Amino acid sequence: MMSNMYAETKTWNPFVGCNFDCIYCEKSFKRQLKRVAWNIGCPDCYKYTPHVHPERRFKIPSAKNIFVCGTGDIYFCNPNYVRGNIFWGIENHKPRRPKTYFFQSKAPACFNQYLDWFQTNRDKVILLTTLETNRDIGYEKISKAPVPSKRFRDFIDLDYCRKVITIEPVLDFDLGEFLGMIRAVDDQLSLEYVWFGFDSKNCGLLEPSISKAQDFVDGLQDYGIEVRGKTLRGVHLSEEQKDVL
């Protein structure tokens, strides 16, 4: 399955599903998975219920970048399965060219239990989390995931050297505070980059103005943080970086 978010990337889904119920996933991941579920006859895929597909551990795609369990959140996966099937699959895969594996969760504290494996494989593993905003108040209307402030603290506390933040779909934010959060992660280890984008599925989210979004992106880039874009709606990225859609 191709990923619309990351260039030269395909998802690999030996685990599928999520119970965070983010409202913007209904028109993206959930709808996409329903089409797949219809073809393979998997009721759990259709309902987006967290579950495993161990037969897929042998089927890592040929793309340069692999979004591990991209159709779900690995937070809900049994750790024994993560180590015995997902990590095992990566360790036993013999690609023709080097690959980068993205592991992303909206509960990044779950990565702490795997840091030994991540550190051993840091040449090919990047950890990601999503921060749509800095605002906790009202976030329960968006998602059951940990609120942004907790997610930020858990992500910055991860003792790992390769991190990326996804700000997509961006929600309205407080400019100074949100910039400070992202810069703090960069100060800790130098972020590899940040993904930024507006809601591409018209979910009716409360979004920042284009001018505020531009000020935010400028503030990141002026700080030396690389920003990659999706669904930018006219927000300009330096160095002629192009919208991936």
Contact call for residues 50 and 17 (beta carbons, < 8 A): yes
Share of the chain above pLDDT 90, in %: 82
Q: What DSSP character marks residue 245?
A: -
Tell me the pLDDT tens digit for each residue of 30-55. Answer: 888 888 777 788 999 999 999 999 99
Contact call for residues 148 and 131 (beta carbons, < 8 A): yes
d(CA 196, CA 227): 7
How high is the pLDDT of residue 193? 97
- Which tokens belong to 217? 């992106």
Quick check: 192 pLDDT over 70? yes
Read off the pLDDT band of 113 (50, 70, 90).
very high
d(CA 168, CA 228): 11
Domain edges within the chain = 9-240
Quick check: 12 pLDDT over 50? yes
How high is the pLDDT of residue 5? 52
Structural fold of domain 9-240 = TIM Barrel (3.20.20)
**pTM, to two decimals:** 0.93
How high is the pLDDT of residue 3? 40
Determine the number of helices (DSSP H) and then strands (DSSP E) in the chain: 8, 9
Alpha helices in the chain (DSSP H): 29-40, 43-47, 79-81, 88-91, 115-120, 148-157, 175-189, 210-222
Residue 204 neighbours by CB distance under 10 Å? 9
- Please give the mean pLDDT across all residues of the chain: 92
